[in-house]
Amino acid sequence: MSFRYLVCRQSVSKITARLRSQYAAAYGFATLTDPIPISTRSATHAAFKPLQNPRSPIPFNRGIHSAQVVDSVDSEEEDDGGVNEFLSRFVWIMRQKLNVAYPGCDKETVDGMLMVIVQKVVEEMEGSGFEHKLGQRQAASEDFSEDLWTTVWEVSNMVMDDMHKEAKKEKMKGFLHAEEVKEMCRFAGEIGIRGDMLRELRFKWAREKMEETEFYESLERLREQEKSQEKGEGGEAVQQAEAEAGGTELNAEVASLPKRRGKIRYNIYGLDLSDPKWVEVADKIHEAGEVIWPKGPKPISGKCKLVTEKILQSTEADDLCPLLAEWVELLQPNRIDWINLLDKLKQQNPGLYIKVAELVLDEKSFQANIRDYSTLIDAYAKKNQLEDAERILKKMTENGLELDSLTATILVHMYCKAGNLERAKQALESLRSQGFQPDMKVYDSMIKAYVNANEPNLGEALLREMEARNIKPSKEIYMALLRSFSQRIDVRGAERIVQTMLLAGFQQDLESCSVLIEAYGKVGDPDQARYNFDNITKVGQKPDDKCTASMIAAYAKKNLLDKALELLLQLEKDGFEPGVATYTVLVDWLGKLQLVSEAEQLLDKIAQLGEAPPVQLHVSICNMYARAGVEKKALQALGVLEAKKEQLSSHEFETIIRGLTAGGFFQDAERMRKVMEAQGFLSDKLMMNVMGKSLFSKRPLMR
């Protein structure tokens, strides 16, 4: 119940008390005969005449704590809150209009006019036609002039609109305290959303919940209407169902008064609400209520609309500062207007959206908060524009906004993606310093960053931290760490990761076994490699070409050619057909053994497969022919490698140069050494080896 309503109750109570003796006589209530035009013209008095059928006066029962207007019959009936509120608001607005129309009348005369008008309105409410007349421009009876009745209808519609808005606000307050809305607010607070942003989201969620409820209520009303039509009750039953479901909710076009089920009763509990201070309090409450119903964007028309279209149709290369300044001068925008413009840009011109979003950060009317900065940083991070993101971050700190958890999370992902491990660590520590623990996505980004930096031990530490917090890592995280340990030839670390995977519920498969085989092959442990190779068949899978190649490479490390051939024969019986990867390992092995003819037979089989040979195969061919002194084929393979120099690793460069040096191709070896340095790989020991052998050796030739 608003304070304006209570003030109006007091006014009605004073009217009835002051005129009790005047209108309690036997000749009944008086009414107006002269028309009361609602305008600024002056009038001094209003003429009254007795009604043709005078009614008995309304008795008064006044106590110390209350002043009541009741009917002599059924005085124990409960008060109708909707009617009371309507009459109180009606009296408050009507008094102002009477004071304007009759500036020379004293307060008692105006009170008398109000009493007559209210009495007639109550009579119309008790009748059957008032609700249908409300909103129409015609007189209900001849007691009042047409001008006065028109004013009564206008004021009544105005009052019912206000009551409708008040009911909406009260309903909204209830949804603001709904459990679903509270739960969403708690979650938003946990992830770092606070302040104005949280308030906006809270009102948004409450409005969505209210709209959802109203939607289902409308479906329920439709169901009631359908039932009524099936029963043949007609339009009257439909109206009754709508009244029961909708309460006192009003139509958007024509208002209707609430049903009067009880008698009018006013209760004022010893408080003088006519004091002017209550008007100020009511205004403050009204201003606070605007927070629940935020104002929408201002309408854009005329020249401002043309400027808006120019902004939307601009390009990233255009200078938007003059257009935005003109737009601000024409519209005088609030934050909601800026947000509306940015939303349009995001839909119609996404490329320009980020540029304008950065420009409006300095606008006072935009009232930028930390979420605006973090949104822009995230947009730049997704586009891999690290410098732009850091520029926005710097501007945010210069404006006095501290790094929050959400922004720190964005920075972790950004720096991990860019490979800047140190800055990623700083962002992670900033996140923890604010009391927030990393989530699954943050752990995933950090572990992959450690893997890319060849620091799997640090990534494993984060993995243990996840397990301690009961966060189950994904299989991709385990496999990334497993491959990283394998590349570092750290078989113990690789075994730890595999055991952790098993404890976490991930069974060994072809991929994990292949990585372990490769790791054991690099350290020269073919027995453990064969154990993991056999595990593949135990888990119900078949080894593929890459896995078999890793196993053959493990045997080649110890030069166990018989076991490798035995394994290949066994696999061929089971239907396995070697591919390019397996043949590449065998060619390299046979080339080191100087079995050139046997290696060439395998090269023919590779050519029959029709697949493009990998760069590792060309390295093996060049090394084999160079060591064998076959100049033409060695230089031919070397030409292919020079064309693919960007794909060569440091180890492969060294293999090529050592093979050329061993075969006596010193000039070619020196040229490849310079190519190696140009690619960023340096080896002083290798340079001394080439120079030394070129002085004391001669190149053997095989034609």
Query: Distance (Å, rounded) from C-alpha 193 to C-alpha 521?
Result: 51
Query: Distance (Å, rounded) from C-alpha 199 to C-alpha 190?
Result: 15
Give the pLDDT score at 290.
58
Q: Each residue of 580-593: pLDDT tens digit?
A: 999 999 999 988 88
Q: How many CB atoms lie within 10 A of CB 593?
A: 14
pLDDT value at 257 more than 60: no
Here the tokens at position 382 are 């997704």
Query: Distance (Å, rounded) from C-alpha 101 to C-alpha 114?
Result: 13
Single-letter residue type at 382: K
Tell me which H or E stretch contains 550. helix 545-557
Query: Distance (Å, rounded) from C-alpha 492 to C-alpha 562?
Result: 28
Q: Taken in order 687, 693, 694, 698, is the CA torsion positive or negative?
A: negative
Single-letter residue type at 408: A
Domain ranges of the chain: 3-175, 177-249, 296-366, 369-436, 437-506, 628-696
Give the pLDDT score at 538.
86
CA 679 centroid distance within chain: 45
Query: What is the band of 547 on the pLDDT scale with cuts at 50, 70, 90?
Result: very high
Region of 332 (left: φ > 0; alpha: ψ -120 to 50; beta: rest) is: left
Query: Distance (Å, rounded) from C-alpha 438 to C-alpha 485?
Result: 24
Query: Distance (Å, rounded) from C-alpha 355 to C-alpha 380?
Result: 11
Give the pLDDT score at 64.
24
Q: Each residue of 279-297: pLDDT tens digit?
A: 676 677 766 665 555 567 8
pLDDT value at 701 more than 70: no
CA 493 centroid distance within chain: 39
- 140 within 8 A of 121, measured Cβ to Cβ: no
> How far is CA 677 from each of CA 641, 672, 674, rounded to the nearest angstrom?
15, 9, 5
Q: Each residue of 5-56: pLDDT tens digit?
A: 333 444 444 444 443 333 333 323 333 333 333 333 333 333 333 223 333 3
Query: What is the band of 265 on the pLDDT scale with cuts at 50, 70, 90?
Result: very low
CA 17 centroid distance within chain: 60
- 256 within 8 A of 250, measured Cβ to Cβ: yes
- In this structure, of 325-329, 405-409, 533-537, 687-691, the range with the lowest mean pLDDT score is 687-691
Kindly write down the DSSP assignment for every residue of 369-425, as one continuous string. Answer: -HHHHHHHHHHHHHTT-HHHHHHHHHHHHHTTPPP-HHHHHHHHHHHHHHT-HHHHH
Q: Each residue of 50-100: pLDDT tens digit?
A: 223 333 333 323 232 333 333 333 433 444 567 777 888 888 888 888 888
